[in-house]
Chains A and B, each alone.
Chain A
């Protein structure tokens, strides 16, 4: 698993892919930070990470699109699958590499809350909560991206498909507003991945929410493994 993790990390930073993700992320963080601070005059990180969520809808698929599709396209998956490694470690190696790049970027963006602490008085639990929530939500979305990448041979298809799926999940909350059937609305909003995020934003770290995201990740990584395994049999 470590060999694959290392290789993928190397791949992110030795090819433009990593930078295509990192640079807009940080640049827009800075932009939202400046405009947020100067307009609202409040010390919360919410106006950075809130709008960044929408940006991530576009750039997280970039992070995951080539993970499996490119291997399949270049036939280099033949090396991975004929080496004495389990499919689960291939999937985990790749997933953690993508997650690692995401977290490194997010770590750099910590500079903005640090500035906030210098110039103002943000609520610490809110900042931590927002960051944890942000990591969990996108860890789950990266898992979806990894799964979609394993379904296709084309990076472009993987990227667009991931984007569409993320967009649908993102807008799920808005759709529930229009539903009048209560039980249906309840079910959908229970599954809504962004609804739970608001708990984190107010500094509430609840176990069910964490478990929800972790199981979300597990399910999609498991499906990724199955999708690779299934291809061996077709």
Chain B
């Protein structure tokens, strides 16, 4: 039991006055898993993590880490967990090395001090700034020092609260790679409100909203269930020709012109009738008319859509969450044509596409430049 479930959370509730920040949530985290803890701001992610790491106590419910209860053996639990809170707990008047030495003492780590700290600093890429005062570091480096702190003492479990907030896109990719590499040996819980992060890093997702779990499943299951038979294509031809060619393909349930994104091309959205695979037909139809296909991209239901539908199902009255648009193509059109990046892909555009779309390298580059 301990072997398979490293963390067991049961009926966890936390009240702040009259309101419940976390309301009766239960989930397990298996050994060696990277669990994405996903939710909008204020959903109770940080509260749950704070309880899990023993920073605050729960109102009711139980938390067990490696078989130890946080209530009965707090120090045993704390030994097993490395925690990076939302705001890295740094002492600004220390140098990086001094800070890590302090953490090493504090956690009573047993590894060889010098080698262990060197290794950690190399892993997160702060060995070059180890002699600098933390207050003089950039936000990205501070975040890394925070991550380094969580790694001191080789804890079995890592709890990372929004580890990539405030980093630039390159750093985000680096940190994610670090997390992925760490996840091979450890169990990691990673909270985020950035959906691409989950796609990029996690094995399993728990979506939480208003203190309650609204969905918990593996990533494949979540997006697989939602696979839709929708494709976007970029074709080097004019609208009329494309429409003409498209009209000859059978089993097309729905098609729409999304607009011109590149000179002398047109982007279209095609949706297949249920259970039909129209990809070959599409290719043949365009080939026949000598229309080059520059991009062919399956539109799986993104985690974003799953997330939005999941979080708005439970709370219809939440104003700040956009409901799923009835007419999806309108929404896509907006996204495609918008000069500015849409809000939720702004943070790391290249990740957004990289996961699901390898067929559009020029697309990625473009977004990078923006």
Contacts and interface: CB of A to CB of B under 8 A. Distances in A.
Contacts of A76: 89-91
Mostly, the A contact residues are helix
Given A75-B87, A82-B53, A233-B57, A15 B78 contact: no
Contact of B89 (A2, A6, A78): A78
Contact of B78 (A4, A10, A75, A82): A82
A15 B106 contact: no
B142 to A, nearest CB: 12
A35 interface: no
A234 B90 CA distance: 24
Interface residues of B, number: 29
Given A7-B102, A14-B93, A76-B91, A82 B75 contact: no
B285 to A, nearest CB: 59
B75 A86 contact: yes
Contacts of B181: none
A227 interface: no
Interface in B98-124: 98, 102-103, 105-108
Interface in A34-77: 74-77
A85 B107 CA distance: 8
Interface in A1-23: 2-4, 6-7, 10-11, 14-15
B254 interface: no
Contacts of B226: none
B81 interface: yes
A77 B89 contact: yes
A183 B269 CA distance: 92
A78 B55 contact: yes
Contacts of B75: 84-86
A121 interface: no
A86 B93 CA distance: 24
A81 B55 contact: yes
Contacts of B81: 82
Candidate in A2, A6, A82, A86 with the most chain B CB atoms within 10 angstroms: A82
Contacts of A86: 75
B149 interface: yes
A2 B105 contact: yes
A80 B94 CA distance: 16
B83 interface: yes
Interface in B47-97: 50, 53-57, 75-76, 78-79, 81, 83, 85, 87, 89-94
Contacts of B107: 83-84
Given A232-B56, A233-B57, A79 B106 contact: yes
Contacts of A77: 89
Contacts of A84: 75-76, 78-79, 107-108
A6 B104 CA distance: 13
A74 B93 contact: no
B89 A4 contact: no
B143 to A, nearest CB: 14
Interface in B318-361: none
Contacts of A7: 91, 102
Given A3-B105, A79-B103, A74 B89 contact: yes
A78 B75 CA distance: 14
A83 B56 contact: no
Given A74-B92, A232-B55, A83 B85 contact: no
Nearest to B81: A82
Contacts of A79: 83, 89, 103, 106, 149
Nearest to B89: A79
A7 B149 CA distance: 15
Given A75-B89, A78-B85, A6 B105 contact: yes
Nearest to A233: B57
Given A3-B102, A4-B106, A82 B83 contact: yes
A4 B105 CA distance: 9
Interface of B: 16, 50, 53-57, 75-76, 78-79, 81, 83, 85, 87, 89-94, 98, 102-103, 105-108, 149
Given A74-B90, A74-B92, 8 more contacts: A6-B102, A10-B98, A80-B89, A81-B54, A82-B55, A232-B56, A232-B57, A234-B16
30 contacts: A2-B105, A3-B106, A10-B98, A11-B91, A11-B93, A15-B93, A74-B91, A75-B87, A75-B89, A76-B90, A77-B89, A78-B50, A78-B83, A78-B85, A78-B87, A79-B83, A79-B89, A79-B149, A80-B89, A81-B54, A82-B53, A82-B54, A82-B81, A83-B103, A84-B107, A84-B108, A85-B75, A232-B56, A233-B56, A233-B57
Nearest first, the 6 A-B pairs at minimum CB distance are A3-B105, A79-B89, A76-B89, A84-B75, A84-B78, A82-B53
